[in-house]
Structure 1
């Protein structure tokens, strides 16, 4: 079936989109409104709300009492925020908690339902410790996601701040890639492997163009709905990359998907930190098993070198002066053929995989570049020119 994903233009904290505050004062909608009752559609349009929203009954009545005054002037951010709050955004009672989906170090995720749209949502409840305030990872996630609007990135619908918790309201997706793999007996159809990889690259390319690195790519952070749309989630570790000279902590990416330069202590990240993880996920989708399932940094590097060959000064300039590398004294492995490990991948697929799995970050293929690789040629050209808010494909 052909898939169309419409992106809702709703800013979760009630900030107005530029478009909604710069309407021509004499717009026909406003002139018309002087002589007729205000409808739900008028309000939805004015406040950039999702089309399926159910406004409280008294809200419409109140609007018609005030008359079309609101529609006569450009809407201010404050007025929009007040309006959204009256409708029920930013309030815990607007959402019904259903099942608990999972628990992390600082957050619990619930499946829920929005009383405004009757749609399912995911409620990520972040506990606020009094002495600490909001965890920086939560603040980072909120500020980044507010600006990322893309069909292959999970949508943040609402933010609820109470004294005890910060709740992020996301669109609900049925499962993550890890569950998807489990459910299909670790054998994803090769065409779906290609579709999922392309969508992952599309979402990443959008982030990377905005200088946002995800830094924690793994199957558990890739969500999939029943229409086969894949979306990047969990931006708690993501960073907006500002100045290239800035160094970050090297304790970020989950071990199995962490690139060798980061494992060996590099703190000079760029967008290529995510591309190694893409390679590991691509392999896992194609074979049904993780590529480098190490339990310690040393073991992780051991697995990497065993498959790709122990690096030398020729294959990785500067490696012989890396203290951690020298201390571990790895055996001299010769590189194995990737194709021997990935029988279900075409030669183009193997070639693309090897472009992700480069020791040096700067040698890895970018998300943007990889979308034009010949491995994807049978998806057609239209898929590359889709607007950010849509993803059409055949599953």
Structure 2
């Protein structure tokens, strides 16, 4: 149960396929209104192995349903159940971050940025990653000002914490850095209780920004009468004490100045992701095959929408998903609620 929608796990009667059905709380009177929904606008154009697949969009009695592929759990649940407070091995961090950054790179290359990356929005099937929940996604070409209060606070970039009206794709890379730190520690690295406390925790770990490292941020802080706490030491090595390649990448993802923050494409070329790089644990069999197979999909073009449905029954419009349609009967009649429903 969320603020804008309810998600339940269901099973298609026709083939036993499990799906996740998202029921929007807002009422939609027509398809023109539905087409403006950010989640639909983005996902019909984003077809990539590391982005969740939107299978079907259905409107029934002004209620909108989004039908997604089903995945086992999210990254937060994985950290809680599998790691149980124990640090994740660098090889596993590399696997997860490689896939997350591939999805982000593709998303940005297609003209969207997510704005709400966090472990709960990273879905897993085994060790395969899908980025999900595009409800806050924006087109890169859209004009500012943007919403100030976006993304979960712990993964919010400093330019948003300072309420800058203009920001862009670098906010997703900051979130990736925060997620990467959490994979190593199994705990949020910036667990602020307020926006002010959030900035305090960022400075305590990274050291405070200066006029040299983030001139525009310092000017913005002065404009809104905010004083950065004084922390001179960067303590990132305490989080990753034995993996310099990972530390190098995290430092690049968590730069204060968004203009100097690494892009997703640049991040994917960092030594941390080079197969054969010595990491401080024994290699697991099959990792090179996994990374190489994933790398081949980095720039895979989106699937071409299928031809329009020409048979009888409910009218359908193809928009890069299985079907977009007005329901002729109860939309959930073709599915049954799974006992393992997802609130």
Provide closer, same or farther for how the CA distance between residues 323 and 358 of structure 1 changes in structure 2, counting only shifts above 3 A.
Answer: closer
Q: Which residue of 2 aligns with 1:73?
A: none
Instruction: Say whether the 8 Å CA contact 1:128–1:134 is kept in structure 2.
Output: no
Deviation at residue 138 of structure 1 after TM alignment: 8.0
After TM superposition, the score normalised by the length of structure 1 is 0.67
The answer to whether residue 272 in structure 2 is matched with residue 375 in structure 1 is yes
Instruction: Say whether the 8 Å CA contact 2:217–2:257 is kept in structure 1.
Output: no
The answer to whether residue 151 in structure 2 is matched with residue 240 in structure 1 is no
Pick the aligned partner of 2:95 from 173, 195, 204: 195
Distance in 1 between the 2:176 and 2:261 partners? 11
Distance in 2 between the 1:160 and 1:320 partners? 48
Deviates more, 1:248-257 or 1:320-329: 320-329
Pick the aligned partner of 1:385 from 278, 291, 296: 296
Provide closer, same or farther for how the CA distance between residues 318 and 151 of structure 1 changes in structure 2, counting only shifts above 3 A.
Answer: closer
Unaligned runs of 5+ in 2: 276-287, 302-343
The answer to whether residue 118 in structure 2 is matched with residue 221 in structure 1 is no
Higher Rg of the two aligned structures: 1
Deviation at residue 388 of structure 1 after TM alignment: 5.6
Provide closer, same or farther for how the CA distance between residues 320 and 143 of structure 1 changes in structure 2, counting only shifts above 3 A.
Answer: closer
Distance in 1 between the 2:15 and 2:73 partners? 21
Distance in 2 between the 1:326 and 1:267 partners? 13
Deviation at residue 255 of structure 1 after TM alignment: 0.6
> How many pairs align?
285
Q: Which residue of 1 aligns with 2:328?
A: none
Q: Which residue of 2 aligns with 1:69?
A: none
Deviation at residue 384 of structure 1 after TM alignment: 2.5
CA-based RMSD: 2.5
Unaligned runs of 5+ in 1: 1-102, 391-395
The answer to whether residue 209 in structure 2 is matched with residue 311 in structure 1 is yes
Instruction: Say whether the 8 Å CA contact 1:137–1:237 is kept in structure 2.
Output: no
Q: 2:215 is paired with a residue of what secondary structure?
A: coil
Instruction: Say whether the 8 Å CA contact 2:105–2:264 is kept in structure 1.
Output: yes
Q: CA deviation digits over 1:286-328, x for unaligned, max 9? A: 1111010002110000111111112221221134432467733
The answer to whether residue 259 in structure 2 is matched with residue 362 in structure 1 is yes
Instruction: Say whether the 8 Å CA contact 1:127–1:164 is kept in structure 2.
Output: no
Deviation at residue 386 of structure 1 after TM alignment: 3.2
Deviation at residue 278 of structure 1 after TM alignment: 0.2
Deviates more, 1:135-144 or 1:211-220: 135-144
Instruction: Say whether the 8 Å CA contact 1:310–1:330 is kept in structure 2.
Output: yes
Matches within 5 A, 1:13-92: none
Distance in 2 between the 1:136 and 1:299 partners? 38
Provide closer, same or farther for how the CA distance between residues 124 and 305 of structure 1 changes in structure 2, counting only shifts above 3 A.
Answer: same
The answer to whether residue 104 in structure 2 is matched with residue 204 in structure 1 is yes
Matches within 5 A, 1:207-286: 207-226=107-126, 228-243=127-142, 246-286=144-184
Deviation at residue 367 of structure 1 after TM alignment: 0.7
Instruction: Say whether the 8 Å CA contact 1:151–1:389 is kept in structure 2.
Output: no
Deviates more, 1:170-179 or 1:142-151: 142-151
The answer to whether residue 242 in structure 2 is matched with residue 331 in structure 1 is no
Instruction: Say whether the 8 Å CA contact 1:174–1:223 is kept in structure 2.
Output: yes
Instruction: Say whether the 8 Å CA contact 1:237–1:252 is kept in structure 2.
Output: yes
Q: 1:204 is paired with a residue of what secondary structure?
A: helix
Deviates more, 1:158-167 or 1:130-139: 130-139
Instruction: Say whether the 8 Å CA contact 2:240–2:246 is kept in structure 1.
Output: no
Distance in 1 between the 2:153 and 2:30 partners? 28
Q: 2:265 is paired with a residue of what secondary structure?
A: helix
Deviation at residue 142 of structure 1 after TM alignment: 1.2
The answer to whether residue 199 in structure 2 is matched with residue 301 in structure 1 is yes
